[in-house]
């Protein structure tokens, strides 16, 4: 059986460097990685790009993890969500200042990279055809960066906090709703940290004419590639 690959994944090599007491990366290096997505000219309306910090192993806590942009004359705290995702600030001033991005962990504990995933919807209603299109968009983008060779779209995964009593259902054209089974695992494969409540929706098991209904906004939607 082919090992599934769930995405968003790091699209380019990690670009973290180290200094005494913290980890850091040059803003210019992060900018160059993030701009790949911004300049991508094909369809990407179902995709979103973030800067992501993630532990290299399960012993590294995400609690109190902070990301800060340090310029010559100012500092800016960049909020991180539960998956270590941050909205990247495109700033000419930070680029010209050769600013640094730092986080409060010892060198080598955290890796950082550009990270693409599928956009979530606040209403919790996802057309099945749109989920397939989103997966195909992400696959096409990965191929444009030289990745995902030989992979195909098999489905998507919805991730929630383990303590959240979320539900995800598929509703067919006949109106019947079929619940998807909840599992426990990492929000993205390859992550050292597991313990999330996840729901896998496979395209072959359902018709594209239906829709997927979620009881709340997931932390992330990843594309399942095999």
The pTM assigned to this predicted structure is 0.89
Chain mean position to CA 128: 20
Higher per-residue confidence, 11 vs 215? 215
| Cα–Cα dist 92/95, whole Å | 5
Could you read off the pLDDT of 148-187 as tens digits, one per residue?
989 999 999 999 999 999 999 999 999 999 999 999 999 9
| Cα–Cα dist 188/117, whole Å | 10
- What integer is the mean pLDDT of 24-35? 95
């Amino acid at each position: 059986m082919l090992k599934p690959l769930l995405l968003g994944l790091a699209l380019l090599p990690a670009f973290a460097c180290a200094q005494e007491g913290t980890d850091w990366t040059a803003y210019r290096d992060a900018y160059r990685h993030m701009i790949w997505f911004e300049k991508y000219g094909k369809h990407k309306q179902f995709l979103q790009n973030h800067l992501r910090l993630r532990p290299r192993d399960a012993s590294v806590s995400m609690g109190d993890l902070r990301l800060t942009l340090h310029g010559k004359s100012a500092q800016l705290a960049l909020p991180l969500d539960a998956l270590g995702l941050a909205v990247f600030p495109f700033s000419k001033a930070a680029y010209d200042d050769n600013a640094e991005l730092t986080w409060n962990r010892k060198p080598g504990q955290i890796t950082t990279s550009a990270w693409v995933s599928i956009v979530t919807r606040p209403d919790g209603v996802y057309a099945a055809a749109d989920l397939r299109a989103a997966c195909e968009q992400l696959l096409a983008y990965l191929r444009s960066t030289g990745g995902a060779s030989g992979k195909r779209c098999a489905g998507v995964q919805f991730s929630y906090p383990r303590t959240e009593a979320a539900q995800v259902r598929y509703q067919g054209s006949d109106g019947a709703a079929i619940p998807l089974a909840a599992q426990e695992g990492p929000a993205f494969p390859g992550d050292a940290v597991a313990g999330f409540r996840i729901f896998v929706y496979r395209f072959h098991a359902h018709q594209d004419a239906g829709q997927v209904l979620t009881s709340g906004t997931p932390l992330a939607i990843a594309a399942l590639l095999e």
